[in-house]
Amino acid sequence: MQIKRREVGLTVDDSLMRLYVVEPAAPGQYPGIVFYSDIYQLGGPIVRLADRLAGYGYVVAAPEIFHRLEPIGTVIEPNDLGRLRGNDAAGRTAVAQYDADTTAALDWLRHCETVASGQIGALGFCVGGHLACRAALSPMVKAAVCCYPTGIHSGKLGRDRANTLERLGEISGQLLLIFGDQDPHVPAEGRTTIVETLRMAGIHHKILTYPANHTFMRDDGYRYDPAATDAAWAEIAAFLASGFNTPGLNV
């Protein structure tokens, strides 16, 4: 499916937040996905993932998650210095600020003329995986995909302690969590904590664990695993199609 791209600006707490929006080129209405990056913001690997998702038949809206701290359009390089910079920005952003950004992005999707009514989801990577999980706390979100989400099990998100784990029972949609079994940021005990909490809460969820490291879906680093990435994308496509009750959409 061919896609088209555009830029949208939203003002959140007096700060300009850029949304990278990519959607099918064919006229019509499609499910909308708020799409969260990792700590490096909207660089090539994340944009390519957003573009790929749009090609399955979704309106994808990807916010710059550090817009309060970084100039608009900033891409943080995935090197040692960039890792320090990205983690610093992540740690200086309050949970309430992340939540405000999510509310703004979801509201934009809800009013977007190319988004089908009531068809909104979330997807994210690393810290963005945690943000996608928090987005799922909104009753607007019917399906959320959290790829190697950091901090859910420990409550670590930004400069506050996040209560995401304690609030998982509020999720009304479906949840897909994707992990790598070699991920030092979400160790086995952390994954177990999340899984047991979801089971106890009775949340409709699916857990996938691949023989891979953290950020294994980024195509620019030594941890990239193409085979695991392709397997994960097949699962994501099927999961979202099911979550939006559109079985033929992603064929």
88 domain-assigned: yes
Residue 114 within any structural domain of the chain: yes
**So what's the pLDDT on residue 55?**
97
* 7 lies in some domain: yes
Active-site residue identified among 183, 185, 205, 225: 183
Q: How many domains does the chain have?
A: 1
| 221 within a domain of the structure (yes/no) | yes
Which residue range is the domain that position 64 belongs to? 3-243
Q: Tell me whether residue 133 is one of the annotated catalytic residues.
A: no
Query: Which of 26, 29, 30, 22 is CA-nearest to residue 5?
Result: 22
Task: Please check whether residue 250 lies inside any domain of the structure.
Answer: no
- Among candidate residues 146, 147, 214, 225, the one labeled active-site is 214
Write the pLDDT tens digit of every residue in 4-42.
999 999 999 999 999 999 999 999 999 999 999 999 999
- The yes-or-no answer on residue 185 being catalytic is no
Nearest CA-CA partner of 56 in 30, 27, 93: 30
The mean per-residue pLDDT over the stretch 160-174 comes to 96
Residue 248 covered by a domain: no
Residue 211 CA to residue 189 CA, distance in Å, equals 16
CATH code for the domain in which residue 155 is found: 3.40.50.1820
Q: How far apart are CA 174 and CA 31, in angstroms?
A: 15
Answer whether residue 249 is part of any domain: no
Does residue 68 belong to any structural domain of this protein? yes
Averaged pLDDT for residues 64-68:
98
147 given a catalytic annotation: no
What is the pTM for the complete model shown?
0.96
Rounded Cα gap, residues 40 and 214, in angstroms: 14
pLDDT of the residue at 250: 31
Neighbours of 157 (CB within 10 A): 26
What's the whole-number mean pLDDT along residues 200-205?
95
Q: How confident is the model at residue 245 (pLDDT cuts 50, 70, 90)?
A: confident
pLDDT at 192: 97
Which residue of the set 38, 67, 112, 126 is catalytic? Answer: 126
